[in-house]
Chain A
Amino acid sequence: MAFRIVASCINCWACPPLCLSGAIRPAVPHFRIDAARCTECAGDYADPQCASICPVEGAIVDSAGEPLNPPGSLIDLSPGSLMKAVRGMENPSEPSVLEARILREHLVGRDFRLACQAQVLGDVTVRPA
């Protein structure tokens, strides 16, 4: 029983001070949770502390790989409305590097199927988180 931090972690240092068991350590390229120490805060807090302050959707997952903060849960944007926003700004014959970067940042870890449908992806590699 342990959580895991994945690639979308931005190393913002919010979670380590909150971890009662000291399981979260700075690491390269992103913070890591020591599975042997993580208790998922069971018995200490109603909500797991790391996941309650984490600002990035999908960055912390449970032992089944399910995100504790699923897409749309932190910035109040569902994958559908995000795609609407993306379509609103696309209109490209040729996607710019910038547009591609936005898409990569925001669609990875959200909804891979929707991301693949976006016409503006160009040659940018999008992979599930």
Chain B
Amino acid sequence: MEPISQPTAAGASSAPHPCYSEQAHRHFARLHLAVAPACNIQCHYCNRKYDCSNESRPGVVSELLTPEQATQKALAVGAAIPHLAVVGVAGPGDPLANPERVFATFRELAAKAPDLSLCISTNGLALPQQVEELVKYRIGHVTITINCVDPDIGARIYPWIFWNHRRVRGRQAAEILIAQQQKGLEMLVTRGVLVKVNSVLIPGINDEHLHEVHRVVKARGAFLHNIMPLIARPEHGTYYGLTGQAEPTAEQVRALRDACASDSGGTGMMSHCQQCRADAVGIVGQDRGAEFTLDKVAAMQVDWRAALAKRATVRAAIERRMALHSQIAHPAQPMPLLARRSRPNASETLRMAVASNDGHNVDAHFGSAREFLIFDISPVGAKLVERRNIDRYCNGPTTCGDAAPALAGAIAALSDCTVLLCARIGFEPWRALEDAGISPNSEHAREPIIDALLTVYAEWRDSGRRAAEATSTCLCA
């Protein structure tokens, strides 16, 4: 598996942030406080009117919070979920278009939960004038969504911005926004804040251009670059959704991430993003928002001092476990795997998808898996290519039609895989997967992932499938 590293940049925060470390993402919980409703720009992939409790995508929330409610919710979640490490504001609008609400919340939390790492995710328009304030509240992580560095491209993504008391449109708007984003990025980096840049991959609009974005933001000191697929469906009512703008395929996203990673020497690309809601609660992929609605939080008695102490104990235990796990998963010696060769041959590489909840064992039911771990296995070793989300649109079958489209979506997302490992799978999806050329396999339920991968790879190699495939691609078997 590829090494999973914690931030190590100069001035890096030591807080385990799920977005900034794939390992932290599995062990530590985060909370998004929906305290920032207003926005100062319009993006073509966003619809400010829309709100759906069954959807999981950025910008969507169920309940808007006042700063008092937000503080209360964070303290309640911090007491009930002691592995909570991060509290962020990501919307539903832009945090920095709501500075009073956001900073009032952070002020309270800095006093009552000083161990929790605070972060924001912003479009960057108001960033330069707020940087000093952010530093004051010891905000160690900031995400800026940067989709372009070319105003002509920006004009096709942003219809307008609100700037100096006017609504500014078109190329001029994009020009101002880009300048503010770049200036803000530079100011944060200078002050030792870790910056993640999110870029939405919009096929035909900024797909080629994101190489340039990657170069520019890395040169300015961005710690991580996260290329995310555009979500655009007619039912979301966004400009892109209504005009039939295509979403990228999983393969397009992966190819661009790989290309950018190789541009910058294989570092600083994020591949575990789940495109969370702006009111997400808990470990990524296991949302517990329903336990912390406004009325439920109001009824909770929270002892924030006791919660603080409990979190310290739990965090120390998790960190010990993570250190141990990392020794097992990344031993000093390479993977004990088959014959070792320096470079894998494409025909010897098997791509497998694994349904796993805990990230260690094949323990998830195909139908309920929200993400799959995608591995490439070759005689050289097993490489975790990415964590791939298949259920980012909707999981409410009662409001969004039957399960067939969801199944088709899952299969399309796995189309590059030859084998799917899961704990259980129904008959229908089994047949549909086979029809799509993907072999489902539930024989290794609850086994450690790495053992299952090795066993299945050895079987695949021996079974002559490789020979058959080699023949079909005109290679000698």
A residues sitting closer than 8 Å to B (CB atoms) are 8, 10-14, 17-18, 45-47, 49, 52-53, 55-56, 74-77, 81-82, 85-86, 88-89, 96-99, 101-102, 105-106
Contact = CB atoms under 8 A, between A and B. Distances in A.
B242 A49 contact: no
A56 B353 CA distance: 42
B42 A55 contact: yes
B37 interface: yes
Contacts of B93: 12-14
B42 A98 contact: no
Interface stretch (B11-19, B233-241, B320-328, B442-450): B233-241
B165 interface: yes
A45 B165 contact: yes
B265 interface: no
Contacts of A18: 165
A18 B164 CA distance: 11
A81 B243 contact: yes
Nearest to B401: A96
A102 B235 contact: yes
Contacts of B243: 77, 81, 85
A117 B39 CA distance: 34
8 contacts: A11-B64, A13-B93, A47-B166, A49-B165, A77-B239, A77-B243, A97-B399, A105-B50
Nearest to B168: A52
A62 to B, nearest CB: 16
Contact of B38 (A12, A85, A88): A12
A76 B40 contact: no
Contacts of B100: 17
Given A12-B48, A77-B239, 15 more contacts: A11-B64, A14-B38, A14-B40, A46-B166, A47-B166, A52-B166, A55-B42, A55-B48, A56-B48, A74-B160, A77-B242, A77-B243, A85-B242, A98-B400, A102-B237
Interface string B69-99: 0000000000000000000000001000110
Nearest to B241: A85
A52 B159 contact: no
A13 B38 contact: yes
Contacts of A11: 37, 64
Contacts of B239: 75-77
Nearest to A8: B49
B159 A74 contact: yes
B167 A12 contact: no
